[in-house]
Amino acid sequence: MPDIAEDGRTWVLSGPAASYAVHVTEGGELLHLHWGPRITPADAVALAARPLPACRPFESPLDGREEYPVEGGPRFVRPALSLRTGTRRGTEWTYEGHESGDGELRLHFRDGGLAITLHYRMRPSTDVVERWVTLDNHGPAVEVLRADSATWTLPDRDSWRLSRLHGRWGAESRLTRSELTHGEEVIGSRRGHTSHQHLPWVALDSGAGEESGEVYGCALGWSGSWRIAVALLPDARVQITGGAGYDDSGLLLLGPGESYTTPVFAGLWTDGGFGGASRAWHAYQRAYVIPDAGRDRPVLFNSWEATGFDISERQQRALAERAAALGVELFVVDDGWFGARTGDGAGLGDWTPNPDRFPDGLAPLAAHVHALGMQFGIWVEPEMVNPDSDLYRAHPDWVQYQPGRKRTEFRNQLVLNLAREDVRQYLWEQLDGLLSSAPVDYVKWDFNRCFTDAGWPQDPYPQRLWVDHVRGLYALLDRLRAAHPQVAFESCSGGGGRIDLGVLGRTDQVWTSDNTDPLDRLAIQYGFSQIHPARVMAAWVTDSPNAMFNHRTSSLKFRFVSAMAGVLGVGGDLTRWSEEGLAQARDWVALYKQIRPLVQRGDLYRLRPPQGGLSAVQYVLGDETVVLAWLQAQRFGEPAPALRLRGLNPTETYECPETGEVHRGAVLLHHGLRVDLRGDLDAAVVRLKRK
């Protein structure tokens, strides 16, 4: 519950280690006071008493100090809120009061008929502050040009470093760190989905290491276009502003009586370094974002790399039999089972089984898979349509389009306009019918192209499509989950194109990347782990050489140990694996099941980054720990260093159940664990249990 100071205008939200404090001045300005280690309300009042800088004609005393800078008045920073009412732009708000309850603080402001509420929530046992804003319009129509979820303000430090996750298709979530210089760094997506190019997350530090030092992190829960701007202001203050939409050219038109709620922008402070920040984010997501995160995800098989579009019931049955023999628990039929979908040129939109491939529908295959002791899953891409489909022929106006303009048909497909009620209703009926027609346990929900010609000719304010598409997607997922609670969902967008706290609130795992090369994956997984837990990070073992990406040849061991760092899956053509390979795979799957609780629910320690030689991660849960180590290439005269473990008790001893070797905790922590890795692309799994 937020604490309120005696002055009645200063609030402090506190978690186990962190506090966040804001203050409304006598003049009604909402100022940021503190984000960092725990403080008391009295400390916050003392901070509030510090005078603002003097007012000078070329500087604003408010800049860099406000919680949520609105447009207008003596402000020169990027506005978080930009509105237009008739011909008037900007906001002049007055403070109306506060409310608190259910762990949430609400600060109410008003500008004419528009009520603006800033929401703050610190979830129990976490140091994550969730922030969002609601606009309730009781006056004439207001055009919301921009409504960010929050502006975060950092304390004064000598310098700041910005971490971000950039990438592209097949090479997502690459971590980069660079010094922040005066001006702005802007990341985001203007593609209509979260994007492969940036994850909506930043971290700021002023000299942290992997296991120590202050780290501030911010992550947005939104699966459409978005923007996070990090500004180093002239007086060296840093502000981070983020929300839905990339440009400021208009988000929504709020008619009288209408409301808008921004997505949540979550912030975390820790002094536990980058590793501590990741563990705090992971714990928060497992506790408050990911549905049913206490339940471990099954080992899956996915048919995509094995069979592509060329699928049949007989061939899928054969794959299922081999997968079951490996110990796979969930069998997923990927693209190609529906409509006229024999390639990427047709069928999207027609969500009924292809009669030549599945003459009796999916139920017989689902029954066979269940009889083999596995769950049954299918692939869908509901937001898309091929022009060559019955759906498009019946409803050509259901797609996003700009009349009289050329349109982009990436992968021969168009984006359906989910802002339309009739489109959402159609998809609901199709998907609800599909999930009722066969015992489906799992849906891989794909999204394989960006928005390009995002028009909506019949609507008076077509711009809203960008936001309403995402809200439509969320509503559809929520409705399907409520109607089919036994079905788990995977978020996929050509791999990792839609991974964020918004979609993770309604899906059970994500497809991390289409790139299944086990070495490339180490870098992708390293970046992914900065913010998201292994519990949602799907990773498949596929064939070698890796035909889809870089043709690299790697051992089954290396491929398995790479994929075992997340939710293990198998995606190779098992009908072509040797008996020896299948036997080895069975052993790896069995080992994964033993370490799965640690990987999926444990604390992650990144022991060494995947740069060049030896890299490793460690998971700790209760009395057990497991180390996954990978050697990229060994050079003579450069022995692999010992891995200094983390999260152990120095006074305890730990035993490896496979070898019986016993290690002292203090030795593992200080001198490290020696792992015998040789040659190129070698890997190892070392389990240790407290004696």
| Region 190-249 residues binding ligand DGJ, contact defined as CB under 6 A | none
How far the first Cα of the chain sits from its last, in Å, is 41
For residues 286 and 411, which CB has a smaller minimum distance to ligand DGJ in the complex?
A: 411
Q: Does 120 interact with ligand DGJ (rule: CB under 6 A)?
A: no
Least spacing, CB of residue 269 vs ligand DGJ, in Å = 35
Per the listing, tokens 């005078």 go with 51
Our CB check for ligand DGJ shows the closer of 93 and 338 to be: 338
Q: Which of 19, 47, 48, 52 is nearest to 35 (CA)?
A: 19
Q: What value, to the nearest 5°, has the Cα angle with vertex 167 and ends 163 and 168?
A: 165
**Maximum separation of any 2 CA atoms in the chain, in Å:** 79
Q: Quote the least distance from Cβ 182 to ligand DGJ, whole Å.
A: 40
Q: What residues numbered 356-395 form the site for ligand DGJ, per CB under 6 A?
A: 379
For residue 176, the tally of other CB atoms under 10 A from its CB is 11
- Active-site residue flag, 514: yes
The HSE-up count of residue 397 (CA atoms within 13 Å, CB side) is 6
Minimum distance from residue 196 beta carbon to ligand DGJ (Å): 10
Binding mask 267-296 for ligand DGJ (x = CB under 6 A): ------------------------------
d(CA 221, CA 244): 9
3-state DSSP assignment of residue 669 = helix
Residue 248 has which token pair? Answer: 């400021």
**Contact assessment for residue 254 and residue 144, using Cβ atoms and an 8 Å cutoff:** yes
Residues 417-446 binding ligand DGJ (CB under 6 A) are 446
Q: Does 496 bind ligand DGJ (CB under 6 A)?
A: no
Q: Indicate the residue among 413 and 530 with the shorter CB distance to ligand DGJ.
A: 413
Per-residue interface string for the shown chain with ligand DGJ, residues 451-490, x marking contact by CB under 6 A = ----------------------------------------
Residue 335 touches ligand DGJ, criterion: CB under 6 A: yes
Of 391 and 673, nearer to ligand DGJ (C-beta) is 391
Nearer to ligand DGJ, 238 or 348 (CB): 348
Scanning 4-12, 215-223, 491-499, 674-682 for contacts with ligand DGJ by CB under 6 A, the matching segment is 491-499
With the CA atoms of 47, 218, 471 and 293 taken in that order, what torsion angle do they form, in degrees rounded to the nearest 10?
-110
CB of 193 to ligand DGJ, least distance (A): 13
Q: Is 172 in the site for ligand DGJ (CB under 6 A)?
A: no
The catalytic residue among 148, 205, 441, 446 is 446
Dist CA 348 CA 595 (whole Å): 39
Separation CA 289–CA 507 (nearest Å): 10
Q: How far is the CB of 491 from ligand DGJ (least distance, A)?
A: 11
Q: Is 494 in the site for ligand DGJ (CB under 6 A)?
A: yes
- Can residue 350 be called a binding residue for ligand DGJ (CB under 6 A)? no
Provide the minimum distance between the beta carbon of 82 and ligand DGJ in the complex, in angstroms, as a whole number: 36
What residues numbered 644-683 form the site for ligand DGJ, per CB under 6 A? none
Is residue 334 at the binding interface for ligand DGJ, with CB under 6 A as the rule?
A: yes
Q: Would you count residue 448 as binding ligand DGJ (CB under 6 A)?
A: yes
Give bridge partners of residue 638 from the DSSP assignment.
635
- Candidates 301, 304, 401, 474: give the one binding ligand DGJ (CB under 6 A): 304
Q: Which residue carries 């996750």 as its tokens? A: 165
Sign of CA pseudo-dihedral 323, 329, 335, 339:
positive
Instruction: Categorise residue 672: left if φ over 0, alpha if ψ from -120 to 50, beta otherwise.
Output: left
Count Cα atoms within 13 angstroms, Cβ side, for 659: 11
Q: Which of 542, 486, 496, 499 is nearest to 523 (CA)?
A: 496
> In the bound complex, what is the minimum distance in angstroms from residue 316's beta carbon to ligand DGJ?
15
Amino acid making up residue 598: L
Residue closest to ligand DGJ when measured from CB atoms: 335
Binding ligand DGJ by CB under 6 A: which of 71, 313, 383, 514?
Answer: 514
- Residues 365-396 as b or e (16 or more Cβ within 10 Å = b): bbebbeebebbbbbbbbbbbbbbbbebbeebe
148 or 335: CB nearest ligand DGJ: 335
Cβ-in-10-Å burial (0-12, 13-18, 19+) of 456 comes to: buried
Residue from the set 116, 492, 534, 595 that interacts with ligand DGJ by CB under 6 A: 492
Q: Given the complex with ligand DGJ, which of 105 and 171 has the nearer CB atom?
A: 171
Q: Establish if 301 lies at the interface with ligand DGJ (CB under 6 A).
A: no
Q: How far does Cα 187 stand from its chain's mean position?
A: 15
Q: Which of 2, 382, 387, 495 binds ligand DGJ (CB under 6 A)?
A: 495
- Tokens at residue 641, please? 């260093």
Backbone angles phi, psi at 474, to 5 degrees: -60, -45
Minimum CB distance to ligand DGJ, residue 20 (Å): 38
C-alpha–C-alpha distance, residues 453 and 54, integer Å: 49
**Of residues 105 and 538, the one with the C-beta less far from ligand DGJ:** 538
**Catalytic residue check, 446:** yes
Closer Cβ to ligand DGJ, 33 or 328, answer by number: 328
How long is the chain? 691
Gyration radius (Cα) of the chain, Å:
26
Catalytic entry in 441, 514, 543, 682: 514
Nearer to ligand DGJ, 200 or 494 (CB): 494
CB 271 within 8 A of CB 306: no
Could you list the active site residues?
446, 514
List residues binding ligand DGJ (CB under 6 A).
304, 334-335, 379, 446, 448, 492, 494-495, 511, 514
